Amino acid sequence: MTSVYIFFFIATIYLTTLNSLQKKNKFCLDRVSSGEKHKILASFKKRIPLSGSFFFLPVFFYLLFPDNILLFSTCLLFFSLGLLSDIKKISSPKNRFLLQIIILTIYISFQESLVLDLRINFLDTIMESDFFRILILSFFLLVLINGFNFIDGVNNLCSLNFLIVLFFLYLLGNDLDNFLFLYEIKVLIIFLLVFVFLNFFGKNFLGDGGVYGISFLIGVLSIEISTLSEKISPYFIANLLWYPAFENLFSIVRRSVYKRKNYLADNFHLHQLILKFFIKYKILKKKKYLLSSFTGICVNFYLIIIYIIGYQFYSKTNIQVMLISISIFIYILLYVFLLKKIR
């Protein structure tokens, strides 16, 4: 227990110092305009540190180096790619996507033990081929990484979801007595707790660097944990990760229907519609700067209910599929409802 307090203290001092240094040196700051919408998102601050890369990379170094050089190196590449995006050195979404594919292909090619257990006979047979294993795993991780990046649009949505997903992975590791996973996840949870607290007040953002690195590691940990025991249905892992994955896939379909370019950002993601609804109907009228965080918490409140139910039956594939189906149905209904209300 003492180590928890020590890590929490270190994380707090480190993040507050990092934020101060970034502001002082005017490095890797998000340019937030003075408009009403941006004021709500950023607690009335004009330049917010994108501290995700700098904050979490040393944590990954501590956890993975030198025991898992391949995983650490891949995390480093994703943090670096995200950081280059944050400082506008790689501004093209197409180039970032291509680099993500290259990084994932290299990692999965060398990490031969990484296998997605779908428990569907013909797909599991296909996965025995290296080509299809790399193809399917790359697709899964690409959807996940970019899905988390899509939902990183309001405070406490992506960062809090990271925290909640890791907590349930920790519970699974505890049930399986896998102490290596427990230690890695516990340290990440402690550092995320500090980040989530400051993110609630709009004091810092994950940035692409933070999102890319953490979502990649969560994806890999999720796959590895799902294969540790037959007791764990891989569809419980899918239940934990359905939201960012579906947000990504739904956005691709939505943009295709409306003939918009998939690689260009828009403001029609579910969380953005919820935020617009809150603004239009003057929710938290006297505390507008909390609207962004309130939106993120509302979405995660629903998700944590689904996660809790799913955890009670984590070995039951049929229940997990039912929960995912219900969540997708509610997502689409809510999306249509909000779209009508904000027009």
Tell me whether residue 31 is in a domain: no
Give 81's contacts (C-beta < 8 A, 6+ positions apart): 90, 96, 99, 100, 103, 208, 209, 212
Tell me whether residue 32 is in a domain: no
Tell me whether residue 147 is in a domain: yes
Tell me whether residue 281 is in a domain: yes
| Domain coverage including residue 186 | 2-25+41-342
Tell me whether residue 320 is in a domain: yes
Tokens of 289: 């700067």
What are φ and ψ of residue 48, in 5° steps? -110, 130
Tell me whether residue 36 is in a domain: no
Tell me whether residue 138 is in a domain: yes
pLDDT for 165 equals 97
Query: Cα(195)–Cα(175) distance, rounded to whole angstroms?
Result: 27
The total number of structural domains in the chain stands at: 1
65-74 own/partner pairs: CB under 8 Å, 24+ apart: 70/107, 70/110, 70/111, 71/107, 71/111, 71/217, 71/220, 74/103, 74/106, 74/107, 74/216
Query: Cα(218)–Cα(301) distance, rounded to whole angstroms?
Result: 20
Please count the other Cβ atoms lying within 10 Å of the Cβ belonging to residue 44.
13
Give 217's contacts (C-beta < 8 A, 6+ positions apart): 60, 71, 75, 188
Burial class (CB in 10 A: 0-12, 13-18, 19+), 92: exposed
Paired with 31 in beta bridges are: 47
pLDDT for 42 equals 46
Please count the other Cβ atoms lying within 10 Å of the Cβ belonging to residue 309.
15
Residue entry with tokens 């993040």? 15
pTM score of the predicted model = 0.91
- What is the per-residue DSSP string for 234-253? HHHHHHHHHHHHHHHHHHHH
What are φ and ψ of residue 47, in 5° steps? -135, 115
Tell me whether residue 35 is in a domain: no
DSSP letter at 203 equals: S
Chain-centroid distance of CA 303 in Å reads 13
Query: Cα(79)–Cα(156) distance, rounded to whole angstroms?
Result: 20
Ordered per-residue pLDDT tens for the chain, 343 residues: 667 777 777 878 877 887 777 666 666 666 554 344 444 454 444 567 777 767 787 787 777 776 788 999 999 999 999 988 888 888 788 899 999 999 999 999 999 888 888 888 887 788 888 999 999 999 999 999 999 999 998 999 999 999 999 999 999 988 877 666 788 888 889 889 989 988 888 888 888 989 999 999 999 999 988 888 888 999 999 999 999 999 999 999 998 888 787 767 788 999 999 999 998 888 877 676 688 899 999 999 999 999 999 999 999 999 999 999 999 999 999 999 999 988 7
Give 127's contacts (C-beta < 8 A, 6+ positions apart): 115, 116, 118, 133, 136
pLDDT for 289 equals 66
DSSP letter at 205 equals: B
Query: Among 245, 271, 268, which Cα is nearest to 328's?
Result: 245
Q: Strands, DSSP E only, in the chain?
A: 29-31, 47-49
